[in-house]
Chains A and B, each alone.
Chain A
Amino acid sequence: MKILIVDDFSTMRRIIKNLLRDLGFTNTDEADDGNTALPMLKSGKYDFLVTDWNMPGMSGFDLLKAVRADDNLKSLPVLMVTAEAKRDQIVAAAQAGVNGYVVKPFTAAVLKEKIEKIFERIQ
């Protein structure tokens, strides 16, 4: 299971990386926005994408849309972990095909629950 973590703040990437490691996912890579993440996703054979929304360059929402528009990536599970809390945004993310939405600040238990739920659905 190879996971890409996308967030513009290195501390948040590190927190998510640590939580994922505790859940048994040790194969993770990091990117700081959509523009760096997209080429990695296209060439890297990732199984799961965890992304923030608000980032300089390409936002997580645009990244989600780009992933869904790409024939090779469109079935990639995407979990958004973001401070964006407007109802319209959550609806928009759902319509764009997000698999899970975790609002910051979050707990390890919430992250675990959402990830497990996503994998249950896939299997």
Chain B
Amino acid sequence: MDRMSDNKKIHRGLEPEVTEKLRHQAAELNQCVEREDYVRAMALINEMGDVRDQSLYQEVGRLTRTLHESIRNFQIDPRSPEQKEVLSMMTDASDRLAYVVQMTGQAANRTMDLVEESMPVANAMRDEASALRDEWQRLRRREMQPAEFRELYGRIDKFFVGLSQDADTIYGSLSEILLAQDFQDLTGQVIQRVTTLVKDVEEQMLSLVVMASHVDQLTGTVHHIDGQEVSAEQGVGPQIKPEEREDVVSGQNDVDDLLSSLGF
């Protein structure tokens, strides 16, 4: 349907001067044939062909300019001078996407740094708490010597002090992990711009395809295009809408079912 309406648009889109010229030439051609001036008639038919070619070239040229323009217009709007410096160096979509990979990578690594710092702290807290609880049970069962109790007394004191410090450390890490998620704002903006560019390019490409099909119709060209299956052996990456596809699993349960049906 879209293609049909695009088709019409392009027919309607002929320049007024072109249609005027065609109308004029058609009228003159008619007159020539009536007065049997075939030499002039043939020349007119050639001229009409030239007009047709010219209008095609103009249309292709216009589309090419629009395409070029939309690629050139693809620029981010940096807010801070720092971003401006970084982003001004990025002039094409692949650079922008590389920036997204870099930002998300940094955030993931920052998050993992903080998690890896916090895990041993939490482990030490748990170990010391469970050791103290065992000692405390011994005390309650009155199995403890006075010297041992004095040692436990100091250890509990130290534990409380350490507990506040460790809790602060973990809380601080959690806050920083929260902040490390700010990449989503920046990468989201970049990706939205790339998406807009892709849509623009797609529209222009569609117009070019429609244009090319006109050229094919006029010249009577038929193309034989062989559909090529992409091999999945090298890997095709994540599936975006697995629930809408039959040939794709939608999660680990599907994988397990499939493998067990194969005797795994």
Q: Which A residues are within 8 Å of any B CB, using their own CB? A: 9-11, 14-15, 18, 53-55, 59-62, 82-92, 94, 101-104, 106, 110
Contacts and interface: CB of A to CB of B under 8 A. Distances in A.
Interface residues of B, number: 26
Nearest to A53: B235
B264 A85 contact: no
A7 B109 CA distance: 15
A120 B105 CA distance: 35
Interface in B85-140: 105, 108-109, 112, 115-116
Contact of A103 (B109, B233, B236, B249): B249
A86 B109 CA distance: 30
Given A11-B112, A101-B255, A87 B233 contact: no
Contacts of A62: 233
Interface string B245-264: 00111111001001100101
B259 A61 contact: no
B249 A90 contact: yes
Contact of B105 (A11, A53, A87, A110): A11
Contact of B249 (A54, A85, A92, A110): A85
Contacts of B236: 54, 84, 86
26 contacts: A11-B105, A11-B109, A14-B109, A15-B112, A18-B112, A18-B115, A18-B116, A53-B235, A54-B236, A59-B235, A60-B235, A61-B233, A62-B233, A82-B235, A83-B237, A84-B232, A85-B242, A87-B249, A87-B258, A90-B255, A94-B259, A94-B264, A102-B252, A103-B249, A103-B251, A106-B252
A25 to B, nearest CB: 15
A113 to B, nearest CB: 9
Contacts of B242: 85
A48 to B, nearest CB: 18
B258 A84 contact: no
B231 to A, nearest CB: 10
A57 to B, nearest CB: 10
B239 interface: yes
A61 to B, nearest CB: 6
Contact of A86 (B112, B115, B248, B262): B248
Given A11-B108, A94-B264, A88 B238 contact: no
Nearest to B256: A101
B112 to A, nearest CB: 5
A11 B237 CA distance: 17
B80 to A, nearest CB: 26
A9 B238 CA distance: 14
Contacts of A86: 232, 236, 239, 247-249
